[in-house]
Structure 1
Amino acid sequence: MRDLAKTDSSPLGAVVVGGGPAGAGLLVAARGAGLLDALLALPVRIIECGDAVGTGELGGYAIRSDSHAESFLRAVEAQAEPPLSVALSTPAGREVSQRRGGPVDLSVASAFLNGACEELRGALAASGRDPFLNGFEALSARKTTAGGWRVRCRRVARGDEAELDAAALVLATGAHQPPETLLRERVAGEPLLPRFAGRLVQSSALLSHSGAAAAIGRLAKLASPRVAIVGGSHSAIACARLLLDAAPGLSFGEDGVAVLHRRPLRLTYASPAAALAEGYAEFGPQDICAHTGRVFPLAGFRSDARDLLRRAWGLGGCGPEPRLRLHRLRHGPDAEAARILEDADLVVAALGYRPRALPLFDSDGRRIRLHAETAPAAPLVDGRSRVLAADGAPVEGVFGIGLAAGFPLRGTHGEESFEGQANGLSLWHGEVGAAIVRDLLAARPAAATARVAPGFSKAEAA
């Protein structure tokens, strides 16, 4: 573990909160854009509560990626300094490379990203420029009178605290499924809780290795189990695919797994011609990306989820899949949806993710309410990845990146008709990450120092 005290006299240009795929990805993006040396010279510190970097919670999921292996490889394979060839030669790297054109197990992708980020970190450490602070948790950040940000941190293992002052702050804090959503959002006229307490699970839990094992073990005891999945996201269809295709021993009958969704379910295709050739015609001009010609590149399902829906709809000679039922929820009361839910042995809530934003305070100690807190689907950031306050104005010097940040991709990286959230590792490691780095460099501080709270010894080895 790095000793936080060793940053005592170093001026900081930025503190990145979170060392997962998005936070560590800023280094990868800077490397690809030729900006790594400039970013490190600010300097920058990346706070990560765990021991690993570059992975976050990715390795905990028991499914394959919804994007092809190329999205994990592109930035690592880029010809830039320092080279990242070792990560490509590891077992995980070789497996990801062999999966080009298709999905990859997220556990394998996680190991590969960790290897790439550790290789990059090792090269930086060799020149005394390791930016990571492992084993520290960021608790909050307060605006300073000088215009920067003071980040309050705690050492996870011991509980002692320290503070870091920096000109800018990047939130790469990931996302979660707030339990209060289950008490608030109505499905077929009522919230899911407390109505289905005891047989309700969030999709993030079901898709985890332990959660999947627990659910499969429970359903395997039933002769003909019934599952109701609420939501129309990739997570929802991934849950259905996990239960139908990846869970040996489950004997689902007809309509054994039902997906209750509000919006139409879409499929992505390389071109309108490819979609029409399979019998898929549910799209118009506004659903085609103006840059790539792809149909529903953002709203459309990809990978294993796409294959399951193609079977359900009999597209391209696939199917049938009688075990899966797709039910479009009505506004207000929906008697059929209510019946499906009541009959289910397991109800899965796939109602989306919300960002885990760090608590922010102004220089007077008052909490800064964020735009993401004003509505269930309100984004955390704007088109420049700047974190937004409740009034929609950017919070000065604070950026956000990663899952559920809500970066507006519509029309720029996809179809004009897109609504909702989309996330892209290749963007975090590429264009979006590099844009944040450029903004950090443009706001290069005159002076910002890292301060160590009482209780940290300068000579202490962590």
Structure 2
Amino acid sequence: MASSVQRFELVIIGGGPGGVATLLAAHKADQLDNLLSMGIAIVESAASLGKGEIGNYAINSDSGGGTFVDCLDSAHPTELTRLQSHELTRNLAAAGHGPVPLREAGRFLGLVGAAIERMAEAYPASAVLTRHKAQSARRCDDGWMVEISDLEAGTTRKIFARQLIVASGAHQPLPRMAREQFDGKSLVERCGARLMQSGEVLTPEGLQRIGDILSKKANPRLAIIGGSTSAAAVAHALLHRLPNVAFGEAGITLLHRRPLRIYYPDREQALAEGYTEWTEDDVCQISGRVFRFAGFRLDSRELVMQARGIGGRPVEARLRLQQIGADERHAAQIMDDADIVIAAMGYRPRGLPFFDEVGVPITLHSQLGPQHPMVDSACRVMDSEGQAIPNVFGIGLAAGFVPRGSLGGEASFRGQANGLWLWQHDVGTLIVNAVLKASRTETDKIEIGLPAVAAAASKREIFHSTPALYG
């Protein structure tokens, strides 16, 4: 039996925090109804939307609890605004600028995802495809043919997307550990079974494993490689969530290549605590914040400041901060002496295999190396030449987006900006505006080139899903 292909204006690959963030940005701008009426599909491998993996980590957030809940705001009552009275929402809001457990943030995002699913159900043109996984996307005349698999039925089919958002999350690829060299040896060769990655450590199971190993040591030694928020979060978790491990002085060493930056709300507060390791290039010219994107926040910030004794804080002697210089022998010796070595060297986007019209693979910019972003300054996914792939956007952890211009940020910032608030506001709004603009442009083309009746029929074909028959 021949099968019809469901057609959507927009398909979002991934319904976790990144994919849902775009819809929350539309909701806040009172544009979510417009998106859903045009026809969107959300493809998510889990059984529900919103949560992703965020609730699996046994640490606190690096965003204040209050920043989670303002995504519910909208000019009109919706399924999302009704969550404002939920007990969990009130608890997060009560935390204000302080951190909250990520497991609670995950629960909240699960509520958000369920509300979005209920909203989507009211629009025949849209669909929520949980327990489905996108396998590939192939370019066609007027958009993309996306192959998806039904994880429960074990079947595959194709859906059409005129526009795509890739929000498929990130991972820590093991081969990178084999390529990372210190004093002539790779991390894998140097550390062997003693090597772990930060994503594993930050789970309850990972912390339990470390606790079981180090609790038997009289003078446990642990090395963390990396200068990111994840690296500092690992150090904080090890010092505060392993009561049976007795770290002594310099029991944990954080090895980092770049200077560790501290976030401050403004110049005056930084100077008041004697923190002068910044210039005007490190200040966001819109908000006035020092190291707005590059600086550590909340628990990680406090720990790094304690390790350095900044602002008169009692020194955390159990943590040693060691910058890696041109001579890597000292850093290598620290790794060799450690009972466990933890690599916190960032994440890479999972992405999606892309093909052109004749089936030739399209190499993504992010596939060229660990320092290559997936997206450009407009959140468009780039090919290997750094050119934007038509009508394909990316968002989420490791997408590599760097805010500039009206989005603010410090001129010196060279990393990638991640965070739910940024995704749900500035970044999500950027993508929503681009999607709506492209949709209006296509509509205008149809109406200019076709008689009124044919134009209306054509728009229904593009913007509304049709009943699918499989066999």
Could you tell me the TM-score, scaled by structure 1's length? 0.93
Q: Distance in 2 between matches of 1:424 and 1:340?
A: 32
Q: Give structure 2 stretches of 5+ with no counterpart.
A: 443-458
1:403: how far off?
0.7
Tell me what 1:58 maps to: 54
Q: Distance in 1 between matches of 2:388 and 2:243?
A: 49
Structure 1, 100-109 or 188-197: larger mean CA deviation: 188-197
Q: Secondary structure at the match of 1:429?
A: helix
More helix per residue: 1 or 2? Answer: 2
1:52: how far off?
1.8
- Are 2:17 and 1:44 equivalent residues in the alignment? no
Tell me what 1:265 maps to: 260
- Are 2:366 and 1:372 equivalent residues in the alignment? yes
1:9: how far off?
6.8
Structure 1 letter corresponding to 2:293: L
Q: Is the 8 A contact 1:17 1:48 kept in 2?
A: yes
1:15: how far off?
0.8
Tell me what 2:333 maps to: 339
- Are 2:149 and 1:154 equivalent residues in the alignment? yes
Pairs aligned (count): 448
Structure 1 letter corresponding to 2:337: D
Q: Secondary structure at the match of 2:259?
A: coil
Q: Is the 8 A contact 2:40 2:126 kept in 1?
A: no
**Correspondent of 1:316 among 305, 311, 321:** 311
1:14-413 correspondence runs (5 A): 14-126=10-122, 131-144=127-140, 146-331=141-326, 333-410=327-404, 412-413=407-408
Q: Is the 8 A contact 2:8 2:125 kept in 1?
A: no
Tell me what 1:460 maps to: none
Q: Secondary structure at the match of 1:24?
A: helix
Structure 2 letter corresponding to 1:34: D
Identity %: 41
Structure 1, 213-222 or 82-91: larger mean CA deviation: 82-91
1:132: how far off?
1.2
1:410: how far off?
4.6
Q: Distance in 2 between matches of 1:231 and 1:148?
A: 40
For 1:268-327, what per-residue CA distance to the aligned partner results, in whole angstroms no more than 9, with x for missing partners? 001111011112111111001100111001110001000001111112221211111111
Structure 1 letter corresponding to 2:425: G
1:436-455 correspondence runs (5 A): 436-444=431-439, 445=442, 446=459, 447-448=461-462
Q: Give structure 1 stretches of 5+ with no counterpart.
A: 458-462
Q: Distance in 2 between matches of 1:85 and 1:437?
A: 20
Structure 1 letter corresponding to 2:38: L
Q: Is the 8 A contact 1:163 1:453 kept in 2?
A: no
Q: Secondary structure at the match of 2:219?
A: coil
Structure 1, 76-85 or 396-405: larger mean CA deviation: 76-85
Q: Distance in 1 between matches of 2:110 and 2:311?
A: 37
Structure 2 letter corresponding to 1:383: S
- Cα RMSD for the two superposed structures: 1.9
Structure 1 letter corresponding to 2:309: G
For 1:205-254, what per-residue CA distance to the aligned partner results, in whole angstroms no more than 9, with x for missing partners? 00112111211222112122110000000000110110112221110011
